Amino acid sequence: MNVIEVKNLSKTFSHGIKAVDSVTFNVEKGEIFGFLGPNGAGKTTTINMLCTLLKSTSGDGKICGYDIASQHNQVRECIGLVFQDMTLDDQLTARENLELHARLYGVPDRKKRIDQVLEIVELRDRENSIVKTFSGGMQRRLEIARGLIHYPKVLFLDEPTLGLDPQTRKHVWDYIVKLKKEYGMTIFLTTHYMEEADELCDRIAVIDHGKIIALDTSKKLKDSLGGDTIILDLNDRDVAKALKIFKDAKRFDGQIILSVKNAGKQIEEVLEKCRKNKIEVVEANIRKPTLNDVFLKLTGREIREETVGLKEQLKRGEGFRMRGHGR
Ligand SMILES: Nc1ncnc2c1ncn2[C@@H]1O[C@H](COP(=O)(O)OP(=O)(O)OP(=O)(O)O)[C@@H](O)[C@H]1O
Ligand SMILES: [Mg+2]
């Protein structure tokens, strides 16, 4: 069953910017669906339309079968929303924040439900602390708890881990997975962290300039690039020789870059060839394609805001390192 159905949804703002440009996708019950894209790609605008906070310019959307344009109340009852920016009252305690929200939604048996959601995000022991004293990660967890208070069927999370350190980010990921596994919740999240989409999402839509440019499982998106990369760090004097032996190799500084089908299987073969030809390999790295490569291939640029040197880029990701025979 599709919990979210979106067809040709678009938003053009008054100054003519097409923030969302005819996006189409469905999200099944119990799926974690990721919207991955750089700053300004149109992620928040899409969420705002789906959550009935913003009127679309054209196209259709349905949440749990309800129309986002004409059935605002029904849609709002189905959804929980965690905004990109902090929206808690930091002068109130955790429990008071939840109390306020539960009243707003007319949640029955409020005390029990608040206990439950605090339990889910493991904040029971801090329920009476003022939110101002919470760490970023705790605030985020409290916001997730608040988004859950009225038993939504779908939870929208707009950049759930923005600005959190890697460890806290991982902690928030655990809650998101728990919501799917234990409560069968459907989750729509936006992010510009590739590893987040990769780790969490059953399917990922890559969005850029308001358009979905790819949509599939992370594995299929990466597989579509067809193959791995082997990177050999060589002594400069051996580079020319290596280029003769590995005909399709590319050169980058003192490195030789080989595109292969399965690096795990082929690396030994490559190193053996180097040994035979007396090419000194200082270090060999394997790199599997990342979502960044998918984005790079589709758009010709990086998803990250800051540019990263090719050398660092090549070493990033799921690669592992092997010492060559040179040392
Ligand atoms: N209320 C608005 N009025 C005019 N333009 C807007 C408005 N909201 C968003 N935009 C523009 O729409 C585009 C998409 O913005 P949006 O906030 O959806 O991007 P995003 O993918 O969520 O980015 P980020 O990763 O920075 O949160 C941007 O060019 C933005 O400037
Ligand atoms: Mg945003």
Confidence at residue 70, expressed as pLDDT on a 0 to 100 scale: 97
Whether the CB of 45 sits within 6 Å of ligand 1: yes
Nearest CA residue ID for atom 25, ligand 1: 39
Nearest CA residue ID for atom 1, ligand 1: 13
Nearest CA residue ID for atom 29, ligand 1: 40
Q: How far apart are CA 206 and CA 113, in angstroms?
A: 36
**Other C-beta atoms within 10 Å of 244: how many?**
9
Answer whether residue 49 shows pLDDT above 50: yes
Radius of gyration of the chain (CA): 24
Per-residue model confidence as pLDDT tens digits over 144-163: 999 999 989 999 999 999 88
What is the DSSP track for 54-96? S--SEEEEEETTEETTT-HHHHHHHEEEE-SS--S-TTSBHHH
In the chain, the percentage of residues whose pLDDT exceeds 90 is 70
Tell which atom from ligand 1 comes closest to the C-alpha of 192. Answer: 25
Whether the CB of 44 sits within 6 Å of ligand 1: yes
* Cβ pair 236, 269 in contact under 8 A: no
**What's the 231 CA to ligand 2 centre distance in angstroms?**
36
Whether the CB of 12 sits within 6 Å of ligand 1: no
Whether the CB of 13 sits within 6 Å of ligand 1: yes
Q: What does the pLDDT average to over 111-122?
A: 94
Nearest CA residue ID for atom 26, ligand 1: 39
**Average model confidence (pLDDT) for the chain?**
89
Beta bridge partners of 208: 211
Per-residue model confidence as pLDDT tens digits over 64-110: 999 999 999 999 999 999 998 889 999 999 999 999 999 999 999 99
Tell which atom from ligand 1 comes closest to the C-alpha of 159. Answer: 27
Confidence at residue 41, expressed as pLDDT on a 0 to 100 scale: 95
Would you place residue 320 in the very low, low, confident or very high pLDDT band (cuts 50, 70, 90)?
very low
Which of 4-8, 12-16, 106-110, 305-309: highest mean pLDDT?
A: 4-8
* Cβ pair 240, 52 in contact under 8 A: no
**What's the 142 CA to ligand 1 centre distance in angstroms?**
25
Evaluated on CA atoms 92, 83, 160, 6, the torsion sign reads: positive
Answer whether residue 226 shows pLDDT above 50: yes
Nearest CA residue ID for atom 7, ligand 1: 13
Answer whether residue 280 shows pLDDT above 50: yes
Confidence at residue 321, expressed as pLDDT on a 0 to 100 scale: 40
Q: What does the pLDDT average to over 268-292?
A: 92
Answer whether residue 253 shows pLDDT above 90: no
- Dihedral through CA 307, CA 310, CA 316, CA 320, nearest 10? 180
Answer whether residue 281 shows pLDDT above 90: yes
**What's the 18 CA to ligand 2 centre distance in angstroms?**
15
**What's the 259 CA to ligand 1 centre distance in angstroms?**
37
Whether the CB of 287 sits within 6 Å of ligand 1: no
Nearest CA residue ID for atom 18, ligand 1: 42
Going by C-alpha positions, the residue among 1, 23, 25, 28 that lies closest to residue 10 is 23
Whether the CB of 84 sits within 6 Å of ligand 1: yes
13, 18, 56, 303: residue to mutate for ligand 1 pocket, most atoms within 8 A of CB: 13
- Nearest bound ligand to CA 18? 1
In the chain, the percentage of residues whose pLDDT exceeds 70 is 93
